[in-house]
Amino acid sequence: MDLRDLYQDIILDHGRHPRNFGKLEHPSHFAHGHNPLCGDKITVYLTVAGDRIEDVKFEGRGCAISTASSSLMTEVLKGKTIADANQLFRSFHAKVTGGAAPPLSEALEEDADRLDPLTGVKAYPVRVKCATLPWHAVQAALEEGAVGKTVKTE
């Protein structure tokens, strides 16, 4: 099995059996994301205490890429600080858009590597929006006073 096949299997597994799917009962932060080109609609819910993301879930419907990205994202963000989440977002965004990923701390490298199955979307610019949608929603949710904000990837 080559790396592309393994990555495809990971995306399909997370697309069909997303982790952390559902609504948090009492989120401290949430935001909606919409990708009109693909029809993806998601809501991300976070419980943030101090500067740490204690829990994160998502719900909605979308293509396999946006669902897999949401699922993988929630796995790596749980327990991270907001600063760590911002670093992971910048790194992931650079990788899927073909940019140079900023250096990460050693502690975050493994988490960033777990997102690598999605980096193949850089060859399909329209799919980049699917992969980055949940990340933009998390960024919107974490903005000061932005509870329930809607972001669109157009």
* Ordered structural domains, the chain, with CATH: 3-152 (3.90.1010.10)
Band (pLDDT 50/70/90 cuts) for residue 95 is: very high
Average pLDDT of every residue of the chain: 91
Give the global pTM: 0.92
Q: Could you tell me the pLDDT band of residue 154, with boundaries at 50, 70 and 90?
A: low
**Mean pLDDT in residue range 73-85:** 97
pLDDT, mean of residues 84-106: 92
Rounded to 10 deg, the angle between the 64-77 and 106-114 helix axes is: 160
DSSP state of 28: S
pLDDT at 121 over 80: yes
Q: Which amino acid is at 66?
A: S
pLDDT number for residue 147: 67
Q: What are the angstrom distances between the C-alpha of 103 and each of 39, 62, 94, 95, 108? A: 33, 31, 11, 12, 10
